[in-house]
Structure 1
Amino acid sequence: MFSSFFSTADPQAPNFHSVTSKFKPTELFGELKPKDNELLCTSSGFVAETQIFYITTTDGKSIMCQLIHSSVGLWYPTIQFTCKIYDTKTQKITWKSINVSNFTCPPPGLDKRSCKADEFSYTHKSKPGSDYPESYTVQANPAPDVQIFLELTRPASVPGWKIGSGDEGGYSQFGPDTSNPDGYVIHRFWPVLKASGHIVLGGKATPVEGRGMFVHAIQGMRPDLVATAWNFGHFQSPDLGGVSAIQMEFTTTKSYGRKGAGSGGVIVNIGSLVVGEKLVAVTAETKYPNEKSDADSLVKSRVTHLRPILDPDTGYQKPCELLFEWAGPSLVTDKPGTYNASLNVDVGDVEQPKGLIEKVDFLAEVPKVLKMAVSYVAGTKPYLYMWINPSKLVITEPGSDAPVEASGYMYNEATFIS
């Protein structure tokens, strides 16, 4: 009767289980099923769920539309819609973030890939067998002077993906017991979408044409317990028939690692490459503390901060350059081998930044209930840097020693939490 007072678990047993530990390099690609992009919209436990569309237009605008559904257990879920529009030519930024009213998921006659509120709607449509088998219509009126109407379609040649197939695909779990985890993180992607429509700012309508991506991410845990830092990169180019390169990376807190509490600082990075408007590789890599990365590894998915410098505004060592690298088994049947790619982006220093959209207090952009749950933690001071810059992706295809280049825009974020 006293056994519950004592723990027999090994304190050095793994209490973080990266998604990459479950799948071989040849099993990294898991094609998304319809249910993967259905919204959970849970109202129990601590779950922060988001669906984001990132778009780069042909005339150099960056558009982001984001739904955030936050549950903090004791409170009714908060649903927020955020949009950010940045013009690289004028450097003008438009940012709106609102708590929505009368949120419904699913709307009548649709499944949970669609949702609506008084201020916005995501409407999913399916056209099986067509060149564009899936699409979302995004309509939003987050403020009297901002209206958004976008058609976002996924080409059939570029399927949505997660790391690994099946119900366990995509999940990194926290805690010693994966069947009953302390929490989890999952990401699901459309690496390419075609964007068209228009935005209205201050009464002036502007057409939108471009390329982008979609991500459905869920954190089943308080964000300050999940990670100390995040990196995200999204490159799009019309060159070579259509190119995309994306990465999502997080670093676990010290509490979660391969040898129990105190062994954290594990870096998990997942990504993909699209060349010729085909998904050619899905990449994933986990780096544990005190282990060196293999520079010649056949599987690579990593971002390196170069020339870090103290930013007195935030207190963090921000990079002046970032190096993104990809390597993974080819998904193209007639091109067996390994795809490699790299991209170096110069974001400037503190005094002379390059392509800096914003550096913001992260908690200023999340729902109030999420802010309440995180902000009381001592030492937690999240800051988010956002950049967009003209960049070149260098690609080496299987069986070739001659790299090719694609020119486009790299949108990337670096988030420091603690």
Structure 2
Amino acid sequence: MFSSFFSTAPPVDPTAPNFHPVSSAFPEKSDLFGELAAKDTEWTCASGFVTETSIFYNFLEDGTMVMCQVIHSSIGVWYPTIQFTCKIYNPNTQENIWRSINVTNFVTPPPGLDKRSSKADQFSITYKPTADSSNPEMYTIRAHLSDDLQISLDVTRPASVPGFKVGKGPKGGYSYFGHDAEKPEGYVVHRFWPRTNASGLIMHKGQAIPAQGSGMFVHAIQGMRPNLVASRWNFANFQSGAHGGVSAIQMEFTTLDAYGRRGAGSGGVAVNVGSLVLGGKLAVVTAETRWPDEKQAEDSSIKSRAIHLHPAHDTDTGYSQPSEIDFHWAGPSILKDAEGAIDASLHLDVGGPKNPKGLIEKVDVLAEIPYVVKTVVNYVAGTKPYIYQWHNKTKLVVSGPDALIPGLSAGLEVEGMLYNEATFIS
């Protein structure tokens, strides 16, 4: 599928760039916001070494976090593995419900639907437009994950919060690996609904739990062996019902040393994309590249950053986990009726390995992925990847034009819920 799998010819210049980040592909600020086309969130189910996923994150009214995910893993000539995973975490009771099942008879599209929909024996996720102009499109999620856990959710997208990718046009959202971006060795792409509304029921052990709340949706593809894509990942999902709806999201990955702007050995490039929803409207799309040989400018007009602070060695995982994390967003408003610069930040204290704060769990990735994927892809190559997952109440400090939220120019603190992850692969 990708030229480097089969070509033995060396590149013309081994020191030429062999990584092309989406965060540097659109230098014009006005081009960062690329509104989604219908095709952007369709399932591709590509062959080769490709991992494709759709994930729905929601916070319920009592603070409970609900995550539903479908993962389609292709591994060369082998039949793909499809998983449905679900995590439900109640911070008040600290109950953590987790299901991960390999599904059977996966189909996309189901009869009469397009490839934004999918189904299997254990679940159905149906995309459809609605008759409500204020919430023009939705997904319905129906899943029977075990005898004691069933999910029924309707997830809608507000009209004032369009889905987005970084960059306009068909190449929007894509970071490419390899010397030739037109014939890449692999790619990574993300498409987002940065704020959604959910309603429905969760049935757990015979008890019906009302599920009302807000969240986000992301469709992502790693068109490459997972162990070659990144050494680190960061993810943040902040949601608040204040001021008509506020969200702040980020997705960041850091390449291996093999991929950088001077070829092999120049890697460790961080690609960070994000967005801000303020006053119930998508206000900013952010994207920034952190090159390993350059310090990021503090006066940059666009910022999209996740910074680990005070790392501490964790004997459970072997990695140095952050004790605190800073998230930062900055950029020009994309709204014509609310022009101006917007800046937002979150400071999160997650504690150290011996005194965690808001830690849900440390996920041993090898224990969760299917055996055939682990074996054929050779996922870790001597490393043991872990995902730290945190859930905390926190405050987003934000400033911007008053046309978005009255008083925003003087700065506001917005209380909300944050779910974030830090993934260590190598």
* Aligned match of 1:132: 135
1:325-344 to structure 2, matched below 5 A, reads: 325-344=328-347
Q: Which runs of 5+ in 2 are unaligned?
A: 1-6, 403-407
Query: Percent identity at matched positions?
Result: 61
* Aligned match of 1:21: 24
Change (3 A) 1:13 1:407: same
Structure 2 residue corresponding to 1:84, chosen from 84, 87, 93:
87
Q: Distance in 1 between matches of 2:245 and 2:268?
A: 36
SS of the residue aligned with 1:269?
A: strand
What residue identity is the alignment partner of 1:416?
F
* Aligned match of 1:406: 414
What residue identity is the alignment partner of 1:53?
F
SS of the residue aligned with 1:66?
A: strand
Structure 1 residue 376, shift from structure 2 partner:
6.2
SS of the residue aligned with 1:76?
A: strand
Structure 1 residue 68, shift from structure 2 partner:
0.2
Q: Distance in 1 between matches of 2:33 and 2:11?
A: 37
1:44-123 to structure 2, matched below 5 A, reads: 44-123=47-126
Structure 1 residue 293, shift from structure 2 partner:
1.1
Deviations 1:73-131 (A, max 9, x none): 12101111000000100101110000001111111100000010110110001137711
1:167-186 to structure 2, matched below 5 A, reads: 167-186=170-189
Change (3 A) 1:120 1:376: closer
Is 2:290 the partner of 1:287? Answer: yes
Structure 1 residue 240, shift from structure 2 partner:
1.2
Q: Is the 8 A contact 1:374 1:380 kept in 2?
A: no
Q: Is the 8 A contact 1:224 1:380 kept in 2?
A: no
Change (3 A) 1:167 1:396: same
Deviations 1:239-296 (A, max 9, x none): 1110000000000000000000010000000000000110000000001012111112
What residue identity is the alignment partner of 1:35?
K
* Aligned match of 2:424: 416
Tell which deviates more after alignment, 336-345 or 268-277. 336-345
CA RMSD, Structure 1 to Structure 2 (Å):
1.4
TM-score by length of 1: 0.97
Q: Is the 8 A contact 1:338 1:397 kept in 2?
A: yes
Structure 1 residue 7, shift from structure 2 partner:
3.5
Q: Distance in 2 between matches of 1:5 and 1:392?
A: 52
Is 2:37 the partner of 1:38? Answer: no
SS of the residue aligned with 2:249?
A: strand
Structure 1 residue 380, shift from structure 2 partner:
2.1
Change (3 A) 1:404 1:246: same
Structure 2 residue corresponding to 1:390, chosen from 388, 393, 410:
393
TM-score by length of 2: 0.95
Q: Is the 8 A contact 2:235 2:249 kept in 1?
A: yes
Q: Distance in 2 between matches of 1:394 and 1:116?
A: 41
Paired positions, count: 414
Q: Is the 8 A contact 1:150 1:195 kept in 2?
A: yes
Change (3 A) 1:129 1:151: closer
* Aligned match of 1:317: 320
* Aligned match of 1:308: 311
Q: Is the 8 A contact 2:226 2:379 kept in 1?
A: no
Tell which deviates more after alignment, 125-134 or 407-416. 125-134
SS of the residue aligned with 1:77?
A: strand
Deviations 1:11-59 (A, max 9, x none): 10000000122212221000001111100112x2100000000001110
Q: Is the 8 A contact 1:70 1:367 kept in 2?
A: no
Q: Distance in 2 between matches of 1:25 and 1:376?
A: 37
Q: Is the 8 A contact 1:395 1:405 kept in 2?
A: yes
Q: Distance in 2 between matches of 1:6 and 1:282?
A: 39
Q: Distance in 1 between matches of 2:127 and 2:11?
A: 49
Change (3 A) 1:5 1:298: closer
What residue identity is the alignment partner of 1:36?
D
Structure 1 residue 153, shift from structure 2 partner:
0.3
* Aligned match of 1:380: 383
Structure 1 residue 373, shift from structure 2 partner:
3.5
Q: Is the 8 A contact 2:75 2:377 kept in 1?
A: no
Q: Is the 8 A contact 2:194 2:277 kept in 1?
A: yes
Structure 1 residue 375, shift from structure 2 partner:
4.2
Structure 1 residue 193, shift from structure 2 partner:
0.5
Tell which deviates more after alignment, 393-402 or 157-166. 393-402
SS of the residue aligned with 2:373?
A: helix
Change (3 A) 1:73 1:101: same
